[in-house]
Amino acid sequence: MENGTHYRTCHLCEAMCGVAIEVKDGHIASIKGDEDDPLSHGHICPKAVALQDLHEDPERLRKPMRKTANGWKEMDWDEAFDLVADRLHRVRKEQGRNSIGVYLGNPNVHNHGSLVATMPFLRAIGSQNRFSATSNDQLPHMLASLELFGHQILFPIPDIDRTDLFICIGANPMASNGSLMTVPDVRGRLKALKGRGGKMIVVDPRRTETAKLADEFHFIRPGTDALLLMAMVHTLFDEDLVNLGHAENWTKDVDLLRLASLSFTPEAVSAHTGLEPDSIRQLARQLATTQKAALYTRMGTSTQAFGGVATWLAYCLNILTGKLDATGGVMFTQPAIDLVALGGFSGQQGHFGKRYSRVKKLPEFAGEYPASTMADEMLTPGEGQIKAFVTVAGNPVLSNPNGGRLDQALEGLDFMVSVDYYLNETTRHADVILPPTAALERSHYDLIFSMFAVRNFAKYSDALFEAGEDSRHDWQILLELAHRLEKKRKGGRLPLRSELGWRAFKQIGPDPILDLLLRSGPYGADIGPARGLVQPAVDLALDILPNRHPLRGMAKLSPLNRHWQDLPKGLSLATLRDNPNGVDLGPLRPCMPERLFTRDGKVNLAPRRYLKDLDRLHELLASPATDELLMIGRRHVRSNNSWMHNSQRLVKGKDRCTLIIHPRDAARCGLQPGDSAEITSDSGNVSGNIVLPVEITEDIMPGVVSVPHGWGHHRPGTGQSVASAHAGASINDVLSDQQVDPLVGTSVLNGQKVKVKVWRAERQRKRA
Ligand SMILES: Nc1nc2c(c(=O)[nH]1)N[C@H]1C(S)=C(S)[C@@H](COP(=O)(O)OP(=O)(O)OC[C@H]3O[C@@H](n4cnc5c(=O)[nH]c(N)nc54)[C@H](O)[C@@H]3O)O[C@H]1N2
Ligand SMILES: Nc1nc2c(c(=O)[nH]1)N[C@H]1C(S)=C(S)[C@@H](COP(=O)(O)OP(=O)(O)OC[C@H]3O[C@@H](n4cnc5c(=O)[nH]c(N)nc54)[C@H](O)[C@@H]3O)O[C@H]1N2
Ligand code: SF4
Ligand SMILES: [Mo]
């Protein structure tokens, strides 16, 4: 790129901050917040500089690599594609299609090219053994959206800019910058909330960075949120505070929910949760009586033993108090590329429990099995055992519970390939690594996070730097592999039509598809006076066609949908190019019940699967409240999952991979400031230990310890020297992969039992 300022969206986390990158003489001179970005208004976090560090990192892989007896050797692309397609095909032919496992990691969702290419790639692989980071993350939200609204990614987003009460449970947006709530500049937005007389309440086992800004804070015992939320539901019914607002007409089974909540009184759940009965009642009352209020839950309530039920109840609380689809409550976005409507149109609303995994019999969700069972599927012999593995932008050795076991399982595979630009804890097991272009060498459109943003917003950026001649984008790698695999499957040749189709796809890439989707979406083509002629036909289609008819889907999706009639029109790739800071498409607007995807057009408040899972919740309530040490995770604003630790600017300073423990528990374990602690699992099949420096503080609830994830870069054979010098230890080495929420299959990453003791070796060394 020429000298000048390039505007784009930072793709590192979910916040979608606009950045202004200044380039001088072919190099990045500075990265600043883009003041004219209508969503982020100039905000960035300290990680934004990592865009430069990643781009310039000499250890970022740029050529395909092959593992040989004498170490890694570079190879050329054609040779690499041939080798990979050949080996995968051979495994598939000899051992069946399910013998190939695929794991898709988090950065895929920040990469529109990968998203477009993933589907054909997975189809070409043809295996049911598909996994992703989803089951260590937002799976309970997807199930709740599927069950209640009929669509797995139709998420209610807090209307944080207009709410007067923000109840934040199990989330730490001050560190994470929001999640399933794309919200750049959380601090500024919370300040504005207070400025208009609003209030924030935080419920968390740790007094987090977010909690420190709250007006009210409650400690909660990990894993008990479902009890708290059920007692809030109970209070709403008990005190006659239920008022569904306009959801009244399109919500059913309210009474079933009332019945389900009967025995969960605030008094009954108090000892387990750690909240006083009166605090619980007050929480419910404040939610009910504040007209503009939003209750939001995230990782802490999702990746735990009762994540499914807790997330469902959080949805229910917003609905029972009339906050769903209401200004200042939780609302639905209307993004420029509406994957919700597109999914509905193509029958991809999602599905759950259509089949079960081979070894543990865990349910699939949208075609994926829980990632916690990957190692089982690799280590357990029999038909369908995973023998070859593909990872795309993932580091499950560090991100998946019982990473140590997966580490060993990967070592025993016949073949592994990783599409990734780092040689890290996972990819070191690969036979071949296929590194894609760096983020600044490709165009960017946030397909996914535009759908979760607190305002409707669209932004496109061209690549900042030209991709080298001898480089490949993620989408090119995936399509090329898919094409070659398909050819092999068909005996070496494809029918002409299909061959031409593949070639065309590989030629045009994802951006023309974006353009088409923008033009045909809610803010798309403005057909002017012709609208008068076409509109009646569209209205008729929407009136008479059954809910799931494809034509109805198409009509709903088009710019002609009457509910979208007043939206600004004329959006295309060209208009986005003309507006490099992004285009504001307005605040979230009420859009229900038209946007529901349930068969009967109603929100079902009490789906049977949740009611059935209440037996487990009753058991929890009936068991005595315990005081055993439970471990939870945490995030830090200068770290991002496992892969940003090779940036010196981000890892410098104080050690952030520590064990946080309350003084009472520290005393019980004999820990003093400056000590290191040994942490072992007390919950299942994990044999390892980790050792971490301790931070003793009253900011954590007694009976709880906290460790961040994504660290543990001490393993040999990786190629990230900065990360290795700041190795830390992986919490997932002491989390069991046997603990999942049986309802949804999500890993229990928060609330597993652990043992903590002084790490004697170090104390002795210090004394000596
Ligand atoms: N800086 C930074 N930002 C990130 C990321 C990152 O790694 N670093 N990762 C990104 C990703 S992939 C995601 S999914 C999001 C996640 O975004 P968040 O969910 O906002 O992030 P966490 O910090 O994991 O917040 C979880 C909170 O739940 C609390 N908690 C733990 N157990 C329980 C429990 O049982 N009950 C309750 N009520 N609370 C509990 C924890 O103390 C913690 O404060 O962040 C994204 N943004
Ligand atoms: N204990 C515990 N475990 C957790 C969590 C927790 O809170 N606690 N959080 C969970 C959550 S929410 C998530 S999302 C997962 C994340 O889990 P993963 O997605 O498995 O792990 P990441 O650390 O995000 O690793 C991303 C990988 O993608 C590579 N990469 C980065 N950009 C690109 C790209 O553009 N293309 C390609 N091909 N590769 C790229 C990086 O080099 C790295 O290897 O971790 C989960 N694990
Ligand atoms: S919060 Fe930081 S990492 Fe996330 S998008 Fe904004 S600048 Fe990037
Ligand atoms: Mo995540």
Question: Tens of pLDDT along 255-265?
Answer: 999 999 999 99
Overall pTM surpassing 0.95 (yes/no): yes
Q: What mean pLDDT comes out for the span 184-202?
A: 97
Burial of 26 (0-12, 13-18, 19+ CB in 10 A): exposed
Pocket residues: Cβ below 6 A from ligand 3: 10, 12-13, 15-17, 44-45, 47-48, 177, 184
> Residue 435: nearest ligand to its CA?
2
Query: Which residue has tokens 């917040």?
Result: 33
Which of these ranges, 209-218, 529-538, 649-658, has the smallest mean pLDDT? 529-538
Query: Residue 462 corresponds to which tokens in the numbers above?
Result: 């061209």
Element (H, E) at 375: helix 374-379
- Ligand 1 binding pocket includes 301 (Cβ within 6 Å): yes
- Going by alpha carbons, the residue nearest to atom 14 of ligand 2 is 106
> Residue 136: nearest ligand to its CA?
2
pLDDT digits (tens, 9 = 90+) for 198-214: 999 999 999 999 999 99
Burial of 240 (0-12, 13-18, 19+ CB in 10 A): exposed
Neighbours of 706 (CB within 10 A): 24
How far is residue 709's CA from residue 133's CA, in Å, rounded to a whole number?
A: 13
Q: What mean pLDDT comes out for the span 583-594?
A: 95
Residue 767's pLDDT is what?
A: 63
CB 473 within 8 A of CB 113: yes
Residue 764's pLDDT is what?
A: 61
> Residue 18: nearest ligand to its CA?
3
pLDDT digits (tens, 9 = 90+) for 47-63: 999 999 999 999 999 99
Integer CA distances (angstroms), 578 to 25, 280, 462, 735, in order: 24, 51, 11, 49
Is residue 741 scored above 90 in pLDDT? yes
Q: What mean pLDDT comes out for the span 313-323?
A: 98
Is residue 404 scored above 70 in pLDDT? yes
- Ligand 1 binding pocket includes 633 (Cβ within 6 Å): yes
- What is the atom index within ligand 3 of the atom nearest the CA of 11? 5
- What is the atom index within ligand 3 of the atom nearest the CA of 40? 6
Residue 348's pLDDT is what?
A: 84
pLDDT digits (tens, 9 = 90+) for 104-121: 999 999 999 999 999 999
Q: What mean pLDDT comes out for the span 121-127?
A: 97
Residue 559's pLDDT is what?
A: 83
CA neighbor of 44 nearest in space, from 3, 6, 13: 13
Neighbours of 195 (CB within 10 A): 8
3-state helix, strand, coil in the chain (%, to 5): 40, 15, 45
Which of these ranges, 417-426, 435-444, 530-539, 654-663, has the smallest mean pLDDT? 530-539
The CA-based angle 210-215-220, given to 5 degrees, is 65
Residue 136 Cα to ligand 4 midpoint, Å, equals 7
Phi, psi of 73 (to 5 degrees): -125, 140
- Please tell me the number of Cα atoms within 13 Å of 60 on its side-chain side: 19
> Residue 180: nearest ligand to its CA?
1
pLDDT digits (tens, 9 = 90+) for 82-112: 999 999 999 999 999 999 999 999 999 999 9
- What percentage of the chain exceeds 90 in pLDDT? 90
- To test the ligand 1 pocket, which listed residue (168, 176, 183, 632) has its Cβ within 8 A of the most ligand atoms? 176
Query: Residue 682 corresponds to which tokens in the numbers above?
Result: 């007390």
Q: What mean pLDDT comes out for the span 155-160?
A: 98
> Residue 168: nearest ligand to its CA?
1
- Ligand 1 binding pocket includes 169 (Cβ within 6 Å): yes
How far is residue 65's CA from residue 41's CA, in Å, rounded to a whole number?
A: 41
Query: Residue 379 corresponds to which tokens in the numbers above?
Result: 């280590």
- To test the ligand 2 pocket, which listed residue (442, 630, 642) has its Cβ within 8 A of the most ligand atoms? 642
How far is residue 515's CA from residue 526's CA, in Å, rounded to a whole number?
A: 15
How far is residue 5's CA from residue 90's CA, in Å, rounded to a whole number?
A: 49
- Ligand 1 binding pocket includes 298 (Cβ within 6 Å): yes
Residue 567's pLDDT is what?
A: 86
Average pLDDT of every residue of the chain: 95
pLDDT digits (tens, 9 = 90+) for 530-560: 888 888 888 888 888 876 677 777 777 788 8
How far is residue 561's CA from residue 148's CA, in Å, rounded to a whole number?
A: 23
Residue 238 Cα to ligand 2 midpoint, Å, equals 44
Residue 182 Cα to ligand 4 midpoint, Å, equals 13
All residues at 6 or more sequence positions from 389 whose CB lies less than 8 Å from its CB, including other chains: 100, 101, 102, 103, 378, 410, 413, 415, 416, 417
- Ligand 2 binding pocket includes 136 (Cβ within 6 Å): yes
Taking every pair of Cα atoms in the chain, the longest distance, rounded to a whole number of angstroms, is 89
Pairing of strands 199-203, 18-24: unpaired
Query: Residue 59 corresponds to which tokens in the numbers above?
Result: 């250890």
Q: Which CATH class is domain 1-56?
A: mainly beta
pLDDT digits (tens, 9 = 90+) for 226-272: 999 999 999 999 999 999 999 999 999 999 999 999 999 999 999 99
pLDDT band of residue 763 (cuts 50, 70, 90) is low
Is residue 765 scored above 80 in pLDDT? no
Which of these ranges, 533-537, 674-678, 706-710, has the smallest mean pLDDT? 533-537
- Ligand 1 binding pocket includes 634 (Cβ within 6 Å): yes
How far is residue 87's CA from residue 500's CA, in Å, rounded to a whole number?
A: 25
- What is the atom index within ligand 1 of the atom nearest the CA of 304? 35
Strands of the sheet with 130-132, listed across from one edge: 71-74, 65-68, 432-434, 415-419, 388-392, 100-104, 130-132
- Ligand 1 binding pocket includes 707 (Cβ within 6 Å): no
Which residues belong to CATH 3.40.228.10 in the chain? 139-335+601-616
- What is the atom index within ligand 3 of the atom nearest the CA of 12? 3
How far is residue 642's CA from residue 396's CA, in Å, rounded to a whole number?
A: 9
Q: What mean pLDDT comes out for the span 485-493?
A: 96
Residue 742's pLDDT is what?
A: 96
CB 336 within 8 A of CB 571: yes
CB 201 within 8 A of CB 214: yes
How far is residue 748's CA from residue 345's CA, in Å, rounded to a whole number?
A: 34
Query: Residue 168 corresponds to which tokens in the numbers above?
Result: 């934040």
- What is the atom index within ligand 2 of the atom nearest the CA of 426? 44
- What is the atom index within ligand 2 of the atom nearest the CA of 179? 12
Residue 432 Cα to ligand 4 midpoint, Å, equals 26
pLDDT band of residue 526 (cuts 50, 70, 90) is confident
> Residue 644: nearest ligand to its CA?
2
Neighbours of 763 (CB within 10 A): 16
Element (H, E) at 379: helix 374-379
pLDDT band of residue 344 (cuts 50, 70, 90) is confident
- Going by alpha carbons, the residue nearest to atom 40 of ligand 2 is 393
Burial state string for 460-470 with b = 16 or more CB within 10 A and e = fewer than 16: bbebbbebeee
- To test the ligand 1 pocket, which listed residue (298, 631, 642, 704) has its Cβ within 8 A of the most ligand atoms? 298
- What is the atom index within ligand 1 of the atom nearest the CA of 106? 12
For the domain 139-335+601-616, what is the CATH code?
A: 3.40.228.10
Phi-psi region of 245 (alpha: psi -120 to 50; beta: other; left: phi over 0): left
> Residue 638: nearest ligand to its CA?
1
The conformation of residue 637, written as its DSSP 8-state character, comes to T
- To test the ligand 1 pocket, which listed residue (172, 730, 741) has its Cβ within 8 A of the most ligand atoms? 172
Neighbours of 712 (CB within 10 A): 24
Residue 28's pLDDT is what?
A: 97
Is residue 168 scored above 70 in pLDDT? yes
Query: Residue 53 corresponds to which tokens in the numbers above?
Result: 């560090």
Is residue 508 scored above 90 in pLDDT? yes
Query: Residue 278 corresponds to which tokens in the numbers above?
Result: 């009166």
Which residues belong to CATH 2.40.40.20 in the chain? 626-767
Residue 226's pLDDT is what?
A: 98
- What is the atom index within ligand 1 of the atom nearest the CA of 173? 20
Is residue 40 scored above 70 in pLDDT? yes
The conformation of residue 598, written as its DSSP 8-state character, comes to S
How far is residue 561's CA from residue 569's CA, in Å, rounded to a whole number?
A: 12
Is residue 768 scored above 70 in pLDDT? no
Residue 197's pLDDT is what?
A: 98
- Going by alpha carbons, the residue nearest to atom 6 of ligand 1 is 640
Hey, what CATH topology would domain 626-767 get?
Barwin-like endoglucanases (2.40.40)
CB 166 within 8 A of CB 137: no
CB 303 within 8 A of CB 370: no
- What is the atom index within ligand 3 of the atom nearest the CA of 9? 5
Mapped onto helix, strand or coil, the DSSP state of residue 314 is: helix
Residue 766's pLDDT is what?
A: 63
- To test the ligand 3 pocket, which listed residue (8, 9, 16, 17) has its Cβ within 8 A of the most ligand atoms? 17
Query: Residue 130 corresponds to which tokens in the numbers above?
Result: 């598909």
Residue 300 Cα to ligand 1 midpoint, Å, equals 6
Residue 189's pLDDT is what?
A: 98
